[in-house]
Structure formats: C-alpha cells, structure tokens
C-alpha cells in the first residue's frame, strides 16, 4: 500500500482498497469454483468480469485517483482481474471436459435395447413347409392343383366312392353348410381336388394339391377344426404301387435326407384299392437306437398319412377308363409334419397367429 496521501479521498476510493479488491477477487474465484456447469460459469463470467462487475467498476475508479496512487491501484486491480480470468479459463477447460465425458456416457447408444419400430411379420411355417413339399413334386414335373374350401358333397364324398350310405362318411366329421339341399360341405380332405382334376383334364395327370381342410374336431394340443393336407395324384398308363412308393421315398428323402424312406401298412380308404398307411423312417434316430427317441417315441417310424392305388370306381366316376389308365394317390397332414419336424408341442401355437411363433421360422424361404 502506498503511504498516506493528503489529496486522497478515502470515500471515493473504497473499491480500490487492497482488502476490497481481494474480497472481489476471492468472491469471483469462489463463484468460479462453485460453477457446476458451463451455463453457470457463463453467468459467473458476466457477474465477475463483465462491464458492471465489481472489478470492472473498480478499474474505472482508478482514473479518479491522484496520479501517484494510480499505479499501485492499477496493479492491484489488474492482478485480481488476471487471477479471475485465469481461474475462469481453467474452470472452463475442466467443465468442458466434464461435459464431453457426460455426453459420451448419456448419449451412448445401447444397440441391444428393443426399438419402438413396428415389428416385422414373418411367413407362416405352414406356408413355407407347404411350398417346400410342393416344390419337391414340381421339380419332378408335377403340376399344382387347387380347389375351393367350400366343396360339393358329391366331390368330397360320392365321386371318391363314398356314397350316401357309405360307412366311411362318418370317418370324417363334416361341417355341413346351410341350406342342406345345397349339398355343400367344408372339404374334409384335399381328395376332392383329385376328382376335380380328373374331371377337367385328360391323363397323364401328375398333380400335387396342398390346402386347408376342415373337420368338426374340438381344438386341443393335437386337433384343430382347420388344418392342412397335401395330396398327390398320378393317373397314367401302367402306373403301379411301385411308382407310389418311389415317389414317396423321393419326397421323404428330399425333405429329411438320404435314407429316410417310407413303409406301407395295409389300410382302408374307399377311394384307393389297395390302400396303405405310410410311415417314414424317423429322421432323428433313423430307426436305430430308437428306445429313447422322443420324436418317434421309440417306434423308429413316424406316421405320415394315407395312400393307395386309385380305386377304378373313382376313375369311372371321373370319366377315366380304368382299362387304359391306372393311378395312385396319397395325402398327409402338413401341420403334423411341421409339429414332428420342429418339435412343436401344441397345435394351437400353429393356428393362433402369434408372430413370435412364426418368427423363428423366418429364415426359411
């Protein structure tokens, strides 16, 4: 501090007293270190270094001092302002670094979080399996034939050698449509497509008919009033059961791999004679070591469906000369195949339409 000065007005220069300047500087330094973020620091900068800040106002007072006192006061204020600016600069650096670090943390993108984008659907496994099976026959030169779900009673039953009084009519629990005199049913199997095909084309006939069928079954883990079948029909000269066996073996091998062939067990269907139930070698245990196989339950074989040589009575009903042509037919459930092929325990999952069921199959094309 300078020595006593007679021209010095103590009231006028209060802001320039050492303790005052120190107090201003300390207040500024405290505010700077208290500033929690860049916005707060900006305000501190205005408050403590701006035009109306105590130190700026003090600086303005210097001119009012007697000349001999100006140097010292100027130095004092200058040093204080320098210290404040330095502290501001340092704090600015620290807060900027903090801000950046926080941004890195808070703005991190967690790519594993579920998005709110609408879910993609998936092709239904019944559709893809049906197409796969159909393709196996199309690759052999067969054609795809289709028929309606609402079917004439005559095509669903009579044409297939199931006359009105035929006991086999009760084998399939039928949905009848009103009025009953319209004689319409929801088709109980894909076999009416056989009749439709024979009625509309000339042999040679090589067709595969996938589609939806209906029976009055209560819905449970293994039954549903609506399900899917795939039917095959061949009518040509000299067709025998051997052609049927060869075609089915090819289908199961193409679908499940080499060595997965079929066997026949004697059975009865009105529209085929002889008729057989067809089984395929279990594709999991391959018929060996079958005791603990869960897929075939120790059988070594998996039941597929029905087949046989087309009954001559059916050929006649559909206008084909059984003296010239013979044929074979088969039919089996696509849903059942989906279940044993993919270990689906409950048939209801197949029909409830939950996309979460279909999605895991989505990679299949």
* Residues near ligand PHE, by CB under 6 A: 189, 191, 231, 269, 272, 305-308, 329-331
Q: Whole-number minimum distance, CB 276 to ligand PHE, in Å?
A: 8
Nearer to ligand PHE, 53 or 190 (CB): 190
- Cβ within 8 Å of residue 128, ≥6 positions away: 361, 364, 365
Helical ranges in 168-240 per DSSP H: 192-200
Structure-block tokens of residue 265: 């067990």
* Residue nearer to ligand PHE on the CB measure, 269 or 357: 269
The dihedral over CA atoms of 224, 225, 230, 234, expressed in degrees to the nearest 10, equals 140
CB closer to ligand PHE out of 293 and 309: 309
Nearer to ligand PHE, 78 or 274 (CB): 274
Q: Any residues with CB less than 8 A from the CB of 335 and at least 6 apart, and which?
A: 126, 224, 227, 228, 347, 350
Residue 278: C-alpha distances to residues 123, 254, 308 (Å): 29, 16, 9
Residue 277 CB, nearest approach to ligand PHE (Å): 9
- The set of residues, in sequence order, having a beta carbon less than 8 Å from that of 220 and lying 6+ positions away, is 347, 348
In the complex, least distance from residue 345 CB atom to ligand PHE, rounded to whole angstroms: 23
Q: Which is nearer to ligand PHE, 128 or 272 (CB)?
A: 272
Smallest separation, CB 308 to ligand PHE (Å): 5
**What's the CA gap between 187 and 31, in Å, rounded?**
87
Least distance from C-beta 197 to ligand PHE, angstroms?
A: 13
């Amino acid at each position: 501090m300078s020595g006593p000065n007679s021209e010095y007005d103590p009231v006028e220069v209060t802001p320039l007293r050492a303790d005052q300047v120190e107090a201003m500087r300390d207040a500024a330094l405290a505010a700077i270190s208290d500033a929690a973020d860049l916005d707060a620091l900006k305000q501190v900068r205005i408050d403590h270094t701006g035009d109306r800040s105590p130190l700026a106002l003090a600086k303005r007072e210097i001119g009012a001092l007697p000349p001999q006192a100006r140097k010292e006061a100027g130095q004092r204020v200058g040093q204080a302002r320098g210290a404040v600016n330095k502290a501001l600069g340092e704090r600015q650096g620290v807060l900027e670094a903090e801000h950046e670090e926080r941004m890195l943390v808070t703005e991190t993108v967690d790519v594993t979080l579920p998005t709110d984008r609408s879910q993609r659907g998936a092709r239904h496994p019944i559709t893809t399996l049906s197409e796969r099976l159909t393709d196996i026959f199309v690759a052999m030169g067969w054609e795809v034939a289709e028929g309606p779900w609402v079917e004439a009673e005559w095509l669903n039953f009579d044409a297939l050698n199931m006359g009105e009084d035929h006991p086999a009519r009760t084998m399939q629990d039928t949905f009848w449509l009103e009025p009953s005199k319209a004689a319409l049913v929801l088709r109980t199997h894909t076999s009416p497509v056989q009749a439709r095909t024979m009625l509309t084309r000339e042999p040679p006939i090589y067709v595969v008919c996938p589609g939806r069928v209906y029976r009055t079954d209560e819905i449970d883990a293994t039954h549903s009033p609506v399900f899917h079948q795939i039917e095959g029909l061949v009518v040509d000269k000299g067709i025998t059961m051997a052609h049927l066996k060869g075609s089915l073996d090819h289908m199961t091998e193409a679908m499940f791999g080499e060595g997965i062939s079929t066997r026949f067990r004697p059975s009865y269907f009105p529209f085929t004679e002889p008729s057989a139930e067809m089984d395929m070698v279990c594709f999991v245990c391959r018929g060996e070591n079958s005791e603990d196989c869960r897929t075939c339950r120790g059988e070594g074989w998996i039941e597929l469906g029905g087949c046989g040589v087309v009954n001559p009575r059916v050929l006649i009903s559909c206008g084909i000369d059984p003296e010239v042509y013979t044929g074979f037919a088969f039919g089996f459930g696509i849903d059942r195949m989906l279940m044993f092929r993919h270990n689906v325990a409950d048939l209801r999952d197949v029909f409830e339409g939950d996309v979460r069921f279909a999605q895991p199959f989505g990679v299949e094309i």
